[in-house]
């Protein structure tokens, strides 16, 4: 087990190095740089920037250096905890991300909890009561959940809330708490606004995990060890919950691999529709403006969170499934 853990950690570190290189390459792929995009935006508003001013801006941001030097300079500052200064916001990247990062994680964790709380019992029930009326209902709702885009559901809920309930659905805070400092009142206001975006984000994931849990548990329930357990007089609840459900939980543990980057990015389109102050829209804005340091920091976080999520997923799988644990020795 220790060898398996050390091997996974070593691979994770190597992967993070390659992720940093790929991240830098990706954010440098578009033609031109931030200065070119900045000059173009000024030209659209009727302002101009001289060649000397453009060169001075490139020197200030280190854009006049060769790409390897720009990469080493960027990585060195990241390792020191300095993600640089956002070229658009003119503020340190850590300050720009600020509350957006933990608000994104809070919304996504709420969506994860809701997804598992709904998908696990429904998936088990659908497998145990296969072809029952409830199974057909849940299956139909699952397909609808997979077919309906999250942003469309958000638009529908916003329309219904505004048109029929007189509610301003959207955002994570009421108007009076948007710019307010943290207090019990602001925290309670956040708690009241949190269920809606969490439910919207959880829709597709819930439908998918219900189908996966149902299929995996049906496969386990047909195996000889379950038949033997029932023949020996083990109660139906224990015969189902003790081993078959545990073996069918593998997809839930595997979902952590893509959950962690989702905690950082969230759903960009849903966040834009609902007006959520999360990292997703900020990433989109940074990519459009070619804000190298801000976009690079967010993309790097996505990659690293993917690696961390995969590592945690592998460790959970070794705990859930003894076959994986034995194979890793």
Average pLDDT over residues 312-318: 80
> What does the alpha-carbon distance between residue 158 and residue 26 come to, in Å, rounded to a whole number?
35
pTM of the model: 0.76
User: With 80 as the cut, is the pLDDT of residue 254 above it?
Assistant: no
pLDDT in tens, 281-312: 888 888 887 777 788 888 888 888 888 888 88
Identify the helix (H) or strand (E) that includes residue 137.
helix 133-147
Topology annotation, domain 99-289: MetI-like fold (1.10.3720)
- Can you give the pLDDT at residue 324? 67
| Phi and psi torsions of 92, nearest 5° | -55, 145
Per-residue pLDDT, averaged over 174-189, amounts to 83
Per-residue pLDDT, averaged over 101-115, amounts to 83
For residue range 22-53, what is the model confidence (pLDDT) as tens digits?
888 877 777 777 677 777 767 766 777 788 88
Treating both helix axes as pointing N-terminal to C-terminal, what angle do 133-147 and 93-128 enclose, rounded to 10 degrees? 150
Angle at 111 between CA 201 and CA 322, to 5 degrees: 120
């Amino acid at each position: 087990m220790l060898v398996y853990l050390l091997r996974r950690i070593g691979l994770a570190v190597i992967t993070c190095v390659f992720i940093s290189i790929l991240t830098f390459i990706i954010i440098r792929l578009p033609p031109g740089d931030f200065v070119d995009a900045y000059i173009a935006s000024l030209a659209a508003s009727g302002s101009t920037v001289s060649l000397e001013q453009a060169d001075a801006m490139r020197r200030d941001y280190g854009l006049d250096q060769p790409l390897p030097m720009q990469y080493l300079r960027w990585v060195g500052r990241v390792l020191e905890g300095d993600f640089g200064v956002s070229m658009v916001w003119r503020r340190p990247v850590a300050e720009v991300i600020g509350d957006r990062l933990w608000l994104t994680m809070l919304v996504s964790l709420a969506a994860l909890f809701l997804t598992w709380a709904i998908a696990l019992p429904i998936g088990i029930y659908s497998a145990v009561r296969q072809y029952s009326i409830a199974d057909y209902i849940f299956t139909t709702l699952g397909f609808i959940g997979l077919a309906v885009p999250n942003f469309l559901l958000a638009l529908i809920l916003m329309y219904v809330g505004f048109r029929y309930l007189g509610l301003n659905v959207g955002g994570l805070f009421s108007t009076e708490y948007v710019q307010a400092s943290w207090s019990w009142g602001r925290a309670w206001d956040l708690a009241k606004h949190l269920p809606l975006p969490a439910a919207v984000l959880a829709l597709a994931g819930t439908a998918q995990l219900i189908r996966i849990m149902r299929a995996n548990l049906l496969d386990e329930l047909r195996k000889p060890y379950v038949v033997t357990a029932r023949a020996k007089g083990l109660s139906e609840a224990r015969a189902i919950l003790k081993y078959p459900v545990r073996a069918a939980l593998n997809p839930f543990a595997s979902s952590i691999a893509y959950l962690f980057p989702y905690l950082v990015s969230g759903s960009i389109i849903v966040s834009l529709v609902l007006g959520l102050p999360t990292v997703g829209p900020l990433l989109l804005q940074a990519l459009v403006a070619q804000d190298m340091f801000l976009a690079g920091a967010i993309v790097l976080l996505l990659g690293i969170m993917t690696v961390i999520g995969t590592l945690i997923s592998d460790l959970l799988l070794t705990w859930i499934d003894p076959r994986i644990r034995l194979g890793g020795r």
